[in-house]
Amino acid sequence: MMLRTSCTLAAAATFVCVATTAAAASIATLRVRVDHFARGGEMPQRFAVCIPKPGVHMGFGRDINPAVSWSKGPSGTQSYSVLLEDTDSPAEHRDWMNQPGKTLDASIQRRVFFHWVLVDIPANVNSIPEGEVSRGLVAHGKPASYSAIGVSGVNNYTMAFSGKPAMAGTYYGYDGPCPPWNDEVVHHYHFIVYALSVRKLELPPGFDGPAAMQAMQGKILAEGQELGLYTTNPAKR
């Protein structure tokens, strides 16, 4: 059995993505490695957008992408895609996030937050070095051309920063974890690699995670993932 993400178009013209477990009899498994933390271990702070900061709860981190590598895809592999999904992003009470006197407990509904969307990675590439696609948070977002590997999609910081004039913009590529400091749930970050039967997904400029997921349907030959954990809640560290 394999953890997979499915996205559906909900009311208000927004995509809702949920993690589901499904049999993948015809899909092979890739071995995925992310350097500097063990499977299910805590991600180092240098990979995060936000880090704990005494007195003010949180500050900005270095936002460096970790090194990711994967085993060679099966015969017929023409390209790879890499996605980073936080499956614990609050789907309700988002106005409580990072607010004194409020707590986001485990009972609230969660949704997928895409931190990294990268497609059309050539079939002869099986690794992305640390710092290759992100060497820091860029106010208003990194451009689509920032990564020399593959084609970058838009991550969900485009939505998260939309109401903040100092940060609002279109965020392409990798931007790391920034879970609320008042969230009682330690967030799970899934680095997922897909081996695909096509060289290009032919996605339009400005595509996002759900669009990439939809475009990959029926083209996935193999997939694999690595899991990291991260929290800025001092009581959970």
**Mind listing the domains of the chain with CATH numbers?**
26-236 (3.90.280.10)
DSSP state letter for 80: E
Q: pLDDT band at residue 237, thresholds of 50, 70 and 90? A: confident
Nearest alpha-carbon partner for 171 in 204, 216, 134: 134
Nearest to 115 by CA among 164, 60, 66, 168: 66
The separation between the first and the last C-alpha atoms of the chain, rounded to the nearest angstrom, is 30
Digit-coded pLDDT (tens) for 105-132:
999 999 999 999 999 999 999 999 999 9
**Rounded average pLDDT over 198-212:** 98
Distances, alpha carbon 65 to alpha carbons 20, 214, 233, in Å: 26, 25, 22
pLDDT tens, position by position, 126-170: 999 999 999 999 999 999 998 889 999 999 999 999 999 999 999
Q: Does 83 score more than 90 pLDDT?
A: yes
Asked whether the predicted pLDDT for residue 63 surpasses 70, the reply is: yes
Residue 74 has pLDDT above 70, yes or no: yes
* Average pLDDT, rounded, for the chain: 91
